[in-house]
């Protein structure tokens, strides 16, 4: 595992400023893309899938790099990710069920 920002500072191995700026640039570009995609008309399912994918990448960037989850232990990462995956799973079940009802009805 790579050093946490605190360990990097303690060992004098420099700052993560460049990495933070890269993530900022990625978040900016993805936000612009999201807004562009939101104005696309006529392909609602595709638009929704792309928007959720872009949001998931942005959220992961913030959690991994700005919140330093990338440098935490596997147990701490699991403590955060597992409970928050449950509502996502529930949403997928609801979407599947709604789609099934529409197809059946």
List contacts with another protein (CB under 8 A).
Answer: 4-7, 9, 15-17, 20-21, 24, 27-28, 31, 34-35, 37-39, 41, 44, 47-48, 51-52, 54-55, 58-59, 62-63, 66-68, 72-73, 75-76, 79-80, 83-84, 87, 90-91, 94-95, 98
**Which helix (H) or strand (E) segment is 104 a member of?**
helix 74-104
- For 11, counting Cβ atoms within 10 Å of its Cβ (0-12 exposed, 13-18 middle, 19+ buried), the class is exposed
CA-to-CA dists, residue 20 to 1, 17, 69, 75, angstroms? 19, 5, 14, 24
Nearer to another protein, 59 or 103 (CB): 59
**Minimum distance from residue 104 beta carbon to another protein (Å):** 16
- Minimum CB separation from another protein for residue 6, in Å? 6
């Amino acid at each position: 595992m790579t050093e946490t920002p605190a360990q990097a500072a303690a060992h004098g191995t420099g700052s993560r400023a460049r990495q933070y700026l890269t993530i900022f640039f990625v978040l900016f570009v993805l936000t612009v893309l999201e807004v562009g995609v939101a104005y696309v008309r006529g392909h609602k399912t595709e638009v929704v899938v792309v928007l959720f994918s872009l949001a998931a990448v942005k959220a992961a960037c913030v959690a991994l790099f700005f919140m330093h989850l990338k440098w935490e232990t596997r147990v701490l990462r699991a403590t955060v990710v597992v409970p928050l995956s449950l509502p996502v799973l529930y949403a997928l079940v609801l979407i599947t069920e709604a789609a099934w009802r529409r197809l059946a009805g």
